[in-house]
Amino acid sequence: MQKIPYYPLDRINAVYSDAFTTAFSSVLQSGWFIRGKENLAFEQNFASFCGAKHCVGVGNGLEALSLILKAYIALGVLKKNDKVIVPATTFVATWLAVRAAGLEPLPAEVSESDSLLTREGVLSVWNSEVKAVIAVHLYGKLAPMESLEQLAKEKGFLLIEDAAQAHGAIRNGRKAGSFGNAAAFSFYPTKNLGALGDAGAVVTSDSELAECVKKIANYGSSKKYIHELEGENSRLDEVQAAILSKKLTRLECDNKRRIEIANTYLQKIKNPLIRLPKYEFLGEHVFHIFAIHSPYREALQKHLERLGIETLIHYPIPPHHQGAFRNLIQAPFPISEKLSQETLSIPLHPQLEDSEISQIIEAVNSFSLT
């Protein structure tokens, strides 16, 4: 029996080994390690990849999100304690970023079919104190941005994308990072575009915002030793920027392979004890995670483990049940709670081989309660 790890980063990065060596030597020889030409090159490439005017490299995805919010506060668009709608199902960083900026997260329920925010979900919690909405492209699928953009116009709130899981996701020619006012990306090693350490970026076509994010992330300074704001240090290393530029050249091709594998799973996984996610248009989804659902998750996970297949849970405890948010007033979120109890992520990455895919499908299909 072949063991199938969930996400073998050594194998996934091995294809870039020569390119990484070249990138690293070049930075080493340049003698310049923070905010240099590798940053500029990556920022330009990634902004144009997303179809936006600006990209600002920052320390990680959480800070990319909080920097967007802090910059809007500095620009007078948001103010302390404004409410920000966030999905009840997401990685905890979405909520943490809101708190880090001194704002209040207001969770909204997600759709059961794809775990994403909906227009109705947003409307059901909206009130006049809401000044921004963060839509998360969870698992790599674009949130319903067109209808949220429409709502943002009607109600007058900022629309921000948490695109940490959706590099390259596209619908009707528009990519993640080009919707709404600004987007946050993470390049954590396991993301579709992953660095060899922490890294992130803010992508936006709002020039004033991009300038302000850059300033806050660099000690509140745009001119050396002149500090206009109480800033922080959140920058992208030259080494990571050089690595990311190399990986960006293959991102579309890697995403295509992910979609192909997901398509195979969607067609061939057939088990009455398992619910598959529903996707109408596969192109808009870049399958950072392939999550299946079962009320018998624990038994299913054990079954797959016995057959050598490693799985993960994204995410076992929703943010509103985390100790970190115990002081926030919480409505019940039955869909998010059910998702957190039933979701299970099976291996999906660009280097997964056909034989592994077949083994995974067979193992999932052979799950029964006896």
Ligand X SMILES: *Cc1c(COP(=O)(O)O)cnc(C)c1O
User: Which residues of the chain form contacts with ligand X (CB under 6 A)?
Assistant: 60-62, 90-91, 93-94, 136, 162, 164-165, 186, 188, 198, 200
Which lies closer to ligand X via its Cβ, residue 122 or residue 195?
195
Q: Residue 280 has which token pair? A: 């109408």
Start-end of H helices in the chain: 9-14, 17-30, 37-50, 61-74, 93-100, 119-125, 145-155, 207-216, 238-248, 251-268, 297-306, 334-342, 354-365
- In angstroms, give the least distance from the CB of 264 to ligand X: 24
Rg (CA), the chain: 21
- In angstroms, give the least distance from the CB of 183 to ligand X: 11
- In angstroms, give the least distance from the CB of 300 to ligand X: 23
Sign of the four-CA dihedral 267, 273, 278, 284 = negative
Specify whether the CB–CB gap between 191 and 165 falls below 8 A: yes
Q: Quick check: helix, strand or coil at residue 144?
A: coil
Which lies closer to ligand X via its Cβ, residue 307 or residue 344?
344
Q: How many alpha carbons lie under 13 Å from residue 325 in its C-beta half-sphere?
A: 24
- In angstroms, give the least distance from the CB of 296 to ligand X: 26
**How far apart are alpha carbons 188 and 190 in whole angstroms?**
6
Which lies closer to ligand X via its Cβ, residue 66 or residue 311?
66
Q: Residue 363 has which token pair? A: 């193992």
Which lies closer to ligand X via its Cβ, residue 115 or residue 178?
115
Angle at 99 between CA 77 and CA 332, to 5 degrees: 110
- In angstroms, give the least distance from the CB of 232 to ligand X: 14
Which lies closer to ligand X via its Cβ, residue 90 or residue 181?
90
Which lies closer to ligand X via its Cβ, residue 41 or residue 100?
100
State the Cα torsion 172-175-179-182 to the nearest 10°.
Answer: -170
Which lies closer to ligand X via its Cβ, residue 62 or residue 361?
62
Which lies closer to ligand X via its Cβ, residue 186 or residue 336?
186
Q: Residue 133 has which token pair? A: 């909405």
- In angstroms, give the least distance from the CB of 242 to ligand X: 18
- In angstroms, give the least distance from the CB of 181 to ligand X: 17
Specify whether the CB–CB gap between 113 and 79 falls below 8 A: no
Q: Residue 287 has which token pair? A: 């399958």
- In angstroms, give the least distance from the CB of 32 to ligand X: 24
- Cα of first residue to Cα of last residue in the chain, in angstroms, is 22
**How far apart are alpha carbons 52 and 34 in whole angstroms?**
23
Picking from 261, 340, 292, the residue whose alpha carbon sits closest to that of residue 300 is: 292
Q: Which residue is nearest to ligand X (CB)?
A: 61
Which lies closer to ligand X via its Cβ, residue 106 or residue 135?
135
- How many C-beta neighbours within 10 Å does residue 317 have? 13
- In angstroms, give the least distance from the CB of 293 to ligand X: 19
